[in-house]
Amino acid sequence: MIAVQDSAKARMPGAVVLALVMVTGHALGYVLGGWAVIDENQSKQDHGQDLLMPWALAWFVALFCWGLAVLQVACLVLARKRRHWVRVVLIVCLSFVGLSMVVAFLGSLVAGVPSLPAFVIAGLDVAALWMVSGEKGRGYFSARGPASGVSTA
C-alpha cells in the first residue's frame, strides 16, 4: 500500500526558502527605512535645518514602506499554505525591489562612485525572483491539496 502525502504538508523547496529569507530581510529593511525617514526629518526640524523632504511626503514614504513590509510578512506567513496569489505578490515585490536596486546602482555609477552593496543586493534580488518565479516556485505554490470533504482513499 502506498501512502499518499498530503499536498498541504509538502516540503518547501530550498530555493523558495532562500527567496523567503530575502523577503524577510527586505521586510525588516522597509520597517527600518520608514522609521529612518520620519526620524531624520524630525531630527532636522529639531536642529533648525532644512527638512529631508516635506512632512507629507515623508509620512507617505514611511507608510508606503510599512505597508510593503506588512504585505511581505503576510506572504511569509501564508507561504506554507501554498496560495498561488502569494507567489504573485512575491514576484511583484521582488521585481520592485530588484528594479529599485538596479536604479540605485546605476545612479551610483553616474555619480562616479559605484555602490558594491547595491550591486550585490540587486543580484540577490534577481536570484530570489528567479527562484520564486521559476519551476520550483511554480511547482510549490501551484500544488493543490484534495478538495475539502473528498476522500483520497
Q: What is the pTM of this model?
A: 0.78
60 lies in a domain? yes
53 DSSP 8-state letter: S
84 lies in a domain? yes
2 lies in a domain? no
The answer, yes or no, to whether residue 112 has pLDDT greater than 70, is: yes
Give the pLDDT confidence of 53-67 residue by residue, as tens digits: 999 999 999 999 999
Q: How many domains does the chain have?
A: 1
152 lies in a domain? no
* Separation between Cα atoms, residue 21 and residue 14, nearest integer Å: 10
147 lies in a domain? no
**CA neighbor of 8 nearest in space, from 152, 151, 150, 141:** 141
- Enclosing domain of residue 93: 15-142
